Amino acid sequence: MFIIKISMPKIFRYIRLTKHALDRMAQRGVTKKSIKETLKNPDTVVSSSEDERYDKRFGSKRLVVRWTLEKNTAVVITVYWQ
């Protein structure tokens, strides 16, 4: 597990990366910086009863970050490129 502290009023203040998310980051070449940028300034937001999906374009690819909220922390479940 990895926790990043950020300045994000309103929804959450911290980002926690699960082991699964860390594994997918390594496998798919996703950086902590790109996750933070996606969560701070998404291009697309899709909410469901299970999780949140934030997407952001980086060059020709779109990063998808799926996460849930626990108190004041965004818990990142998985990340992938589309």
Please give the chain's pLDDT, 82 residues, in tens: 555 555 544 678 899 999 999 999 999 999 999 999 999 999 999 989 999 999 999 999 999 999 999 998 999 999 999 9
Count: domains in the chain: 1
CATH number (domain holding residue 36)? 3.30.2310
Q: From CA 8, how far away is CA 22, in angstroms rounded?
A: 21
Query: What is the predicted pLDDT for the residue at 9?
Result: 46
Contact yes or no for 61/8 (Cβ under 8 A): no
Helices (H), the chain: 19-28, 32-40
Q: Which domain holds residue 16?
A: 2-81
Query: What is the predicted pLDDT for the residue at 51?
Result: 94
CB burial of residue 36 (10 Å; 0-12, 13-18, 19+):
middle
Query: What is the predicted pLDDT for the residue at 72?
Result: 87
- pLDDT, tens digit, for every residue of 50-70? 999 999 999 999 999 999 999
Query: What is the predicted pLDDT for the residue at 39?
Result: 94
